[in-house]
Chain A
Amino acid sequence: MRLSLEARERPARIMTWASPLLAAVGSVIGVSILFAALGRPPLTALYVLFVAPLETLDGLAELALKATPLLLCAIGIAIGCRAEVWNIGAEGQFTVGAICGGGVALALGGGGAWWLLPLMILAGIAGGMAWAGIAAFLKTRFNAHEILTTLMLTYISIQLLGYLVHGPWQDPDGHSFPQTKQFEDDALLPMLIEGTRLHVGALFALAAVPFGSILLGRTMMGFRIRTVGAAPAAARYAGFSRNGVVWFCLLLSGGMAGLAGICEVAGPDGQLTPVISPGYGFAAIIVAFLGRLNPVGILFSSALMALLYLGGEGLQVSMQLPIAVTGTVQGMLLFFLLGADVLINYRVRLRPARAVAGVARHA
């Protein structure tokens, strides 16, 4: 007997819904084995990972806070992926957005002007767009692949941030810590819920969901994006410019990542430090695919990923597990989900080792 995959005639509707459940069950089992192997009681660990963060208002606010940058970055990434434009460097655009918006806050903060926050946000968006624009230029002019360029630009942006906070922008009263001054109060985003760290950036992220859905589903631009992604020759035939779509997708996703970046530093952080993101821009790639490149799906997958972040912190604190465990759990989840996805378009068949039915009778 051997296992084989057979293509289904059409995608199985049931599996579209069942595959995330199957993936969840698979991950829970896999994660439990991992915990058991590390010598921790699996049930307790699962509780710390998935349930404990949701028990308090503060926990829920932290969940939304962590989901915000993931959601913004992931929707931008997903729109690009629909056109087969692979922006792997949201992390870099996030960083440059934080630098540009943060620079405005440091330069102009404290005056109490009403336009300061809008200006910071615009600067953040513009920074992210410019950073992604470099990749768009390289792709459309020299055909340099955006997977490489956006990724390499990410490392440049992180060095740039490091230079700034170690050098020109370093807080003179900061005892030589690599960080900027704290932003003035007028350069901080207003809080949404008193007593928590949840800020108005979460509203931008929420608004990105209908924005992304309408863009992809109802506008001509979204139609162009999907056509370029699904059938490049059909897009050429229809007269849709691939370069136009590449520019649009990279600028849009760069701008959204930049927005996420400035919201992060003008929100909970309140200053620039060498490390402003625990890898939101990279985790957002997972989030985008977990959400099936669909903005509504991404709303849920970003919440799930945020939960993993919080639960992972809980595991470190209360169960003394290393941070690598969080990464392992993320990886398992993605592995199971993509694995289960295969079942939407394929069915598993068991066949005898040599299928010679029928004709074989007469041999």
Chain B
Amino acid sequence: MPPRLRLTGITKRYAATLANSDVNLTIGPGEIHALLGENGAGKSTLVKIIYGFVRPDSGEIAWEGEPVQIPDPNAARKLGVGMVFQHFSLFESLTVAENIALGLGATETIAELTKRIEEISRRYGLAVTPTRHVHHLSVGERQRVEIVRCLLQSPRLLIMDEPTSVLTPQEAEGLFDVLRRLSSEGCSVLYISHKLEEIKALCERATVLRGGRVVGHCDPRISSEQQMAEMMIGGALPVAHRTSALHEGAPCLQIERLSLPADEPFGTNLRDISLTLRDGEILGVAGVAGNGQKEILAVLSGERLSPDAGSVRVCGTAAGHLGPTARRRLGLAFIPEERIGRGAVGEFSLTENGLLTAYGSGFVRGGLIRFGAIAQYARDIIKRFVVKAAGIEARGSSLSGGNMQKFIVGREMGTNPRVLLAAHPTWGVDIGAAIAIRQALMDLAAAGSGVLVVSEDLAELFEISDKIAVLFHGRLSVPKPTNETSIEEVGLLMGGGTEAGASPVVAHAA
């Protein structure tokens, strides 16, 4: 039988960068194939070529042995390629069936479509209710809608782009069952992820990309995670070390019985949140995106004020009514989720980006900026955190995501904060930089500061945190010492289960 898809010599150049260079990829019928690589390795370009978003400069595409061209996503769908994107394209105010009808451009009635959706969801165990409105759905449910939409077109190759980044571990396991079922029915799967343990659990073959080239193939069932990671980064994997604080420090960040309604449509209401972060401690906040992470961080950083000043305390001082500048003066620093546009300004030089939050630390005199001093500060950050940049005058937008993040981490740690908030600190950052960032957070805690890490990456939280709490529907569970809990338990809490393991909470008020 000819392979489902064979790419030969695919090359795609963007102005100065070679996104794909002479890439070969073969996916057999019913095979679950992993595409591995760091950010910027060329994974997304290759996927876009397969799905018809991008045309290669040269190279051949063969579908079931026949040479084809894929000028646009419609052509890809006609061949039998389906794709589930990392970011969903669903309309919040429409029902599941209406959304799917839009995506299919279907001629059948909603009633007929509803029947087909129910059939598919029964067959694959994908719990989807066609009549529900999308804004009621959790992220995991939304993903199932996207998958059902693909399956309705009976794909013969399904592309999954980082599908589990929004799922609880249990939901991810459910997704794997669906993918295995599809594979057994002969549908091929191209699976993109940087979570190596998932790839080991799911995939039979892997193609590793680095710098736009194929650098190797492996069988993930046999290769170790370390071997695969080293293939991706092209060198030995640095290891992070944690020296844990033994004594119990003084509280440096407290939230007391904070409830706050969402300030935007489809936001999450914070409900009765209490939390204490102590000196020298790393507290991890787990949870599926959209359960109140954005809201709790805004209320802690001072971007949003809380009605009761005493509900947030920074180093003992009531700070709920204080803005970001005043809280920084109390010793708080914050690494936000978005880098360019929030944590840094793309048009600004690194010097100016250093000034963005460090301005309160003696870099301004009489209203005038001390450019010499702030330039030195930026140079120190670049040196200490090995930021790859064309010097302190390089614009923020010219840095890669990981390097920009290292600079932001360096800037926030450079003022010796007593409390550091870190939102998804290593999200989308390549492995080397992620390890450096985790190490920096642990070093800061070892030096006596409190660190609050909000992340969706459970492996990361379990690696660095002393305690872990879970956000679900705007409520925060009681933090538990990391060594007294497990990924399974945290996963259940992420899905709305109680600590005793009761059934998941379904109701969700927007």
A97–B435 Cα distance when bound, in Å, is 61
**A215-230 interface code vs B (CB 8 A; 1 in, 0 out):** 0001111010011001
Which of A8, A223, A238, A358 interacts with B324 by CB under 8 Å?
A: A238
Pairwise interchain contact A359-B59, C-beta atoms closer than 8 A: yes
A6–B16 Cα distance when bound, in Å, is 13
Residues of B within 8 A of A363 (CB): 67, 69
Query: Which B residue's beta carbon lies closest to that of A240?
Result: B325
Which of A223, A233, A358 interacts with B58 by CB under 8 Å?
A: A358
Smallest CB–CB gap between A231 and chain B, Å? 4
Smallest CB–CB gap between A298 and chain B, Å? 20
Query: Which B residue's beta carbon lies closest to that of A222?
Result: B369
Pairwise interchain contact A233-B338, C-beta atoms closer than 8 A: yes
A211–B367 Cα distance when bound, in Å, is 14
- With contacts A219-B368, A239-B328 taken as known, whether A233 is within 8 angstroms of B341 at the C-beta atoms is yes
Which of A8, A237, A241, A358 interacts with B342 by CB under 8 Å?
A: A237
Pairwise interchain contact B60-A359, C-beta atoms closer than 8 A: yes
Residues of A within 8 A of B336 (CB): 237
A218–B367 Cα distance when bound, in Å, is 9
Pairwise interchain contact B67-A223, C-beta atoms closer than 8 A: no
A358–B58 Cα distance when bound, in Å, is 4
A238–B353 Cα distance when bound, in Å, is 10
- With contacts A10-B398, A223-B355 taken as known, whether A359 is within 8 angstroms of B55 at the C-beta atoms is yes
Pairwise interchain contact B371-A239, C-beta atoms closer than 8 A: no
Smallest CB–CB gap between B73 and chain A, Å? 15
A219–B357 Cα distance when bound, in Å, is 15
Which of A234, A241, A356, A358 interacts with B356 by CB under 8 Å?
A: A234
B345 at the interface (CB under 8 A from A): yes
Residues of A within 8 A of B355 (CB): 223
A8–B15 Cα distance when bound, in Å, is 8
A14 at the interface (CB under 8 A from B): no
Pairwise interchain contact A360-B69, C-beta atoms closer than 8 A: yes
**B463-486 interface code vs A (CB 8 A; 1 in, 0 out):** 000000000000000000000000
Smallest CB–CB gap between B99 and chain A, Å? 29
Residues of A within 8 A of B369 (CB): 218-220, 223
A239–B341 Cα distance when bound, in Å, is 14
Query: Which B residue's beta carbon lies closest to that of A362?
Result: B67
**A1-25 interface code vs B (CB 8 A; 1 in, 0 out):** 0000010111000000000000000
Which of B326, B343, B367, B398 interacts with A219 by CB under 8 Å?
A: B367
Which chain B residues (342-378) contact chain A, with CB distance < 8 Å?
342-348, 352, 355-357, 359, 364, 367-369, 371
A357 at the interface (CB under 8 A from B): yes
B302 at the interface (CB under 8 A from A): yes
Which chain A residues (238-277) contact chain B, with CB distance < 8 Å?
238-239, 241
A234–B60 Cα distance when bound, in Å, is 44
A359–B58 Cα distance when bound, in Å, is 6
Query: Which A residue's beta carbon lies closest to that of B353?
Result: A234
Query: Which B residue's beta carbon lies closest to that of A358?
Result: B58
Pairwise interchain contact A231-B341, C-beta atoms closer than 8 A: yes
Which of A8, A9, A234, A359 interacts with B343 by CB under 8 Å?
A: A234
Pairwise interchain contact B67-A238, C-beta atoms closer than 8 A: no
Most buried by A among B60, B69, B326: B69
Smallest CB–CB gap between A205 and chain B, Å? 23
Residues of B within 8 A of A8 (CB): 15
Pairwise interchain contact B368-A356, C-beta atoms closer than 8 A: no
Residues of A within 8 A of B301 (CB): 237
Which of B15, B71, B303 interacts with A236 by CB under 8 Å?
A: B303
Residues of A within 8 A of B11 (CB): 358
Pairwise interchain contact A239-B69, C-beta atoms closer than 8 A: no
Residues of B within 8 A of A359 (CB): 55-56, 58-61, 69-70
Pairwise interchain contact B57-A239, C-beta atoms closer than 8 A: no
Residues of A within 8 A of B69 (CB): 356, 359-360, 362-363
Query: Which A residue's beta carbon lies closest to that of B340?
Result: A231
Pairwise interchain contact A355-B345, C-beta atoms closer than 8 A: no
Residues of A within 8 A of B328 (CB): 239
B334 at the interface (CB under 8 A from A): yes
Which chain B residues (48-69) contact chain A, with CB distance < 8 Å?
55-61, 67, 69
B432 at the interface (CB under 8 A from A): no
Query: Which A residue's beta carbon lies closest to that of B358?
Result: A238
Pairwise interchain contact B342-A231, C-beta atoms closer than 8 A: yes
B414 at the interface (CB under 8 A from A): no
Pairwise interchain contact B368-A218, C-beta atoms closer than 8 A: yes
B323 at the interface (CB under 8 A from A): yes
Pairs across A and B, CB under 8 Å, 26 listed: A8-B15, A9-B15, A218-B368, A219-B368, A220-B359, A221-B367, A223-B355, A230-B347, A231-B345, A231-B346, A233-B338, A236-B342, A237-B301, A237-B324, A237-B334, A237-B336, A237-B356, A238-B325, A239-B323, A355-B55, A356-B69, A356-B71, A358-B56, A359-B70, A360-B69, A363-B67
Q: Which residues of B contact A (CB under 8 A)?
A: 11, 15-16, 55-61, 67, 69-71, 301-303, 323-326, 328, 334, 336, 338, 341-348, 352, 355-357, 359, 364, 367-369, 371, 395, 398
- The 10 A-B residue pairs with the shortest CB-CB distance, nearest first, are A239-B324, A239-B325, A358-B58, A233-B342, A362-B67, A359-B69, A231-B345, A220-B364, A238-B356, A230-B347
